[in-house]
Amino acid sequence: MSQSQYNLVVLVSGNGSNLQALIDACASSALPNTRITHVISNRKAAYGLERAAKASIPTTYHNLVPFKRKHPQTDAGTAAARTEYDASLAALILQLDPRPDVIVCAGWMHILAPDFLNPIAAAGIKVINLHPALPGEFAGAGAIERAWEAGRTEGLKRTGVMIHEVIAEVDAGEAIVTREVELREGESLEGLEERIHEVEHGLIVEGTRRTLEGIKK
* Positions marked catalytic: 131
Cα 12 from Cα 71, distance rounded (Å) = 25
Distances (CA, A) of 197 to 14, 15, 96, 149, 193: 13, 12, 30, 18, 6
Q: Return the half-sphere exposure (C-beta side, CA atoms, 13 A cut-off) of residue 37.
A: 18
CA gap 106, 129 in Å, rounded: 6
Q: Give Rg (Cα) of the chain.
A: 18
Classify 44 as helix, strand or coil: coil
* C-alpha pair distances (Å), 160 with each of 113, 142, 169: 25, 13, 19
Cα–Cα distance for residue pair 194/179, rounded to 1 Å: 15
Q: Which amino acid is at 53?
A: A
Q: Which of 133, 200, 204, 211 is nearest to 170 (CA)?
A: 133
**C-alpha span between 189 and 207 (Å, rounded):** 25
